[in-house]
Copies of this chain bind each other. A is one copy, B any other.
């Protein structure tokens, strides 16, 4: 049921356009996957409004369904598509990101959006590490009630099967930029063992759901480990390849890390850069051959009043926009720009009305999707 067709490659870069065929429709690539942490995009968007925002698909976090019988609830209604009334393709991550964010990410106060290390960040301990890694799996202490949760590759598969997304992810250990070569190597190889256990469980499962699998390249900031990981992943029977873990200390290093992986990754498989989606890296990562990327940033900044525009980000909460009676982006066709001026949205933000965050979320998603549409057109016309 799943297919990835490359429609055209750029001559000047590694960029390419393609389509991913799924049981829930096509995804035009390069594609953005907005984050629907608990099944819905935050800010109260209805599925109708999500579709109005031109969103092609969405990704939900498996970790939040480990607890509280949530996965069972969703399964009883026939999976995420039915439970959240979303008819387009859905992705679920594996829970591996929380091995970073609740582990060393929390301990050292590292960014949650991505694991690019801030150059000025000191290696001071800032919080509790809620995680222990063993060969068997990752043991989390629930941030809510301290309860222990053992996340194994087998459990990650089981939960992701219950959730029933179109695309599921192998359980990996998401590393940090603080890891030295030895730690990164050990964790990358343990991830590889987990991949095999996950896949064994999947392929031995007699009542599999119609789900396509992504493997994740780890290896941190070390070229030899990245190469080892991508070679391992190339040999797995999976649909797509994701790039996870620590990507470097700055954007330049991140681009280098991506290049290492892309140079070796099976060119026929879709490539997903995990957790990166700032506007200022968009074109560059696409030039490096990325087909899919997910990021909470465009929707998170929307909830805090930041609008994406062709002139850069603007803070719609600012008092200076009280009397700006024009839309966020000239000629933007999104429902927010078609019906509201900046002054109105500014008022709603200052009045703390939820409608403000919703309108801006719709705009930011629409803006980003439009930008990608343009990029895909430029690639098609050999102008990228």
Using a CB–CB distance below 8 Å, which chain A residues touch chain B?
38-40, 42-46, 64, 68-70, 73-74, 76-77, 83-85, 322-323, 325, 339-341, 343-344, 347-348, 350-351, 353-355, 357-358
Q: Tell me whether B38 and A351 are in contact (CB under 8 A).
A: yes
Q: Tell me whether A325 and B77 are in contact (CB under 8 A).
A: yes
Q: Tell me whether A348 and B40 are in contact (CB under 8 A).
A: yes
Task: Show 26 residue pairs from A and B whose CB-CB distance is below 8 angstroms, ordered by the A residue.
Answer: A38-B353, A39-B348, A39-B351, A39-B353, A42-B354, A43-B44, A44-B353, A44-B354, A44-B355, A44-B358, A46-B355, A68-B350, A70-B347, A73-B343, A76-B323, A76-B325, A77-B341, A77-B343, A77-B344, A83-B344, A83-B347, A84-B344, A85-B339, A85-B344, A354-B354, A354-B358
Residue of B nearest to A353 (CB): B40
**Distance in Å: Cβ of A8 to nearest Cβ of chain B:** 38
Provide the bound-state CA to CA distance between A85 and B44, in Å: 19
Q: Tell me whether A322 and B73 are in contact (CB under 8 A).
A: yes
Provide the bound-state CA to CA distance between A323 and B322, in Å: 46
Given A39-B348, A40-B353, list of 11 further CB < 8 A pairs?
A43-B354, A44-B44, A44-B357, A45-B355, A68-B350, A73-B323, A73-B343, A76-B323, A83-B344, A83-B347, A354-B357
Provide the bound-state CA to CA distance between A350 and B46, in Å: 17
Secondary structure class of chain A's binding surface, majority of residues: loop
**Distance in Å: Cβ of A135 to nearest Cβ of chain B:** 33
Provide the bound-state CA to CA distance between A358 and B343, in Å: 24
Contact partners of A76 in chain B: CB under 8 A: 323, 325, 343
Provide the bound-state CA to CA distance between A347 and B64, in Å: 12
**Distance in Å: Cβ of A339 to nearest Cβ of chain B:** 6
**Distance in Å: Cβ of A340 to nearest Cβ of chain B:** 7
Provide the bound-state CA to CA distance between A323 and B45, in Å: 23
Residue of B nearest to A357 (CB): B44
Provide the bound-state CA to CA distance between A348 and B77, in Å: 14
Contact partners of A42 in chain B: CB under 8 A: 353-354
Provide the bound-state CA to CA distance between A343 and B46, in Å: 17
Residue of B nearest to A74 (CB): B347
**Distance in Å: Cβ of A362 to nearest Cβ of chain B:** 9
Contact partners of A74 in chain B: CB under 8 A: 347
Provide the bound-state CA to CA distance between A73 and B350, in Å: 13
Contact partners of A84 in chain B: CB under 8 A: 344
**Distance in Å: Cβ of A324 to nearest Cβ of chain B:** 10
Provide the bound-state CA to CA distance between A44 and B45, in Å: 9
Contact partners of A40 in chain B: CB under 8 A: 348, 353, 355
Provide the bound-state CA to CA distance between A40 and B43, in Å: 16
Provide the bound-state CA to CA distance between A64 and B351, in Å: 9
Contact partners of A73 in chain B: CB under 8 A: 322-323, 343, 347
Residue of B nearest to A69 (CB): B322
Provide the bound-state CA to CA distance between A350 and B77, in Å: 17
Contact partners of A357 in chain B: CB under 8 A: 44, 354
Contact partners of A348 in chain B: CB under 8 A: 39-40
Provide the bound-state CA to CA distance between A73 and B77, in Å: 47
Provide the bound-state CA to CA distance between A33 and B18, in Å: 52
Contact partners of A340 in chain B: CB under 8 A: 85
Contact partners of A325 in chain B: CB under 8 A: 76-77
Contact partners of A354 in chain B: CB under 8 A: 42-44, 354, 357-358
Provide the bound-state CA to CA distance between A289 and B289, in Å: 71
**Distance in Å: Cβ of A164 to nearest Cβ of chain B:** 15
Provide the bound-state CA to CA distance between A238 and B344, in Å: 32
Contact partners of A68 in chain B: CB under 8 A: 350
**Distance in Å: Cβ of A223 to nearest Cβ of chain B:** 41
**Distance in Å: Cβ of A101 to nearest Cβ of chain B:** 18
